[in-house]
Amino acid sequence: MYRKILLALTLVAFTSPAFAHDGKHPDAPNPSPNATTSQEVGYTKVSVKYGRPGVKGREIWGKLVEYNGGDPRPWVAGANGSTIITFDDDITINGKSLKAGSYGLHMIPSKDDWIIIFNSDASRFGIMKYTPKTDALRLTVTPKRAPFQEWLAYEFDKTGELTATLSMHWENLKVDLDIVGPDKRTGKDKHADH
């Protein structure tokens, strides 16, 4: 009896999705490898944890990533669960204030403007129970055409002592988020909106 139970458990383990890894050997590389990027912006630090899917010959915008939240959940802005963005201090992003902390970064792409969502559920799989009620901030941005990028990437461009632009770049589009950190020298910040 013990041997039958052990055999059944072994079969379940090796046929479960956790071991399957896209039908490849369990030791195969992650098809959308995880990545982390960070940047000091003035006196604070901003970091992003995300999965990096590849284009792999597919049509991305409006197809693989549906327009207007066709899932019906927002896109996780990466792969392997929610993209997580962390701010060590209160910051301003695209002119709007956002408190220090970690957020699920989600996006709703469309043919024109995109909605960028900072959701207070920063768990890796928070998107599975996503609700707009827990959105801390929503922004509307216009993506820009960009050189082809095979693997999705989050990139920082320092634009000043207290500022930086964070870009999500994949396939032929780029979405920019302008970040302003607090100015701790004066005890005030330079936020445009309170």
Question: Are residue 81 and residue 116 in the same domain, yes or no?
Answer: yes
Question: Are residue 14 and residue 108 in the same domain, yes or no?
Answer: no
Q: Which pLDDT value is given to residue 16?
A: 36
Question: Residue 54 has what DSSP assignment?
Answer: B
Q: Which pLDDT value is given to residue 8?
A: 40
Spans in the chain with pLDDT lower than 70: 1-26, 69-71, 186-194
Q: Which pLDDT value is given to residue 132?
A: 94
Coil, helix or strand at residue 8:
helix
Q: Name 105's Cβ contacts closer than 8 Å, sequence gap at least 6.
A: 48, 50, 77, 82, 83, 84, 85, 116, 117, 118, 119
Nearest to 192 by CA among 163, 155, 157, 156: 163
Is residue 185 assigned to a domain? Answer: no
Question: Are residue 21 and residue 36 in the same domain, yes or no?
Answer: no
- Read off the amino acid at residue 179: I
C-alpha to C-alpha distance for 151 and 143, rounded to whole angstroms:
17
Note whether 64 and 58 are within 8 A (CB): yes
Is residue 77 assigned to a domain? Answer: yes
Note whether 84 and 124 are within 8 A (CB): yes
pTM over 0.95: no
Question: Are residue 89 and residue 69 in the same domain, yes or no?
Answer: yes
Question: Are residue 50 and residue 146 in the same domain, yes or no?
Answer: yes
Q: Which pLDDT value is given to residue 192?
A: 47
Q: Which pLDDT value is given to residue 190?
A: 52
Is residue 152 assigned to a domain? Answer: yes
Q: Which pLDDT value is given to residue 30?
A: 85
Question: Are residue 19 and residue 110 in the same domain, yes or no?
Answer: no
Question: Are residue 139 and residue 121 in the same domain, yes or no?
Answer: yes
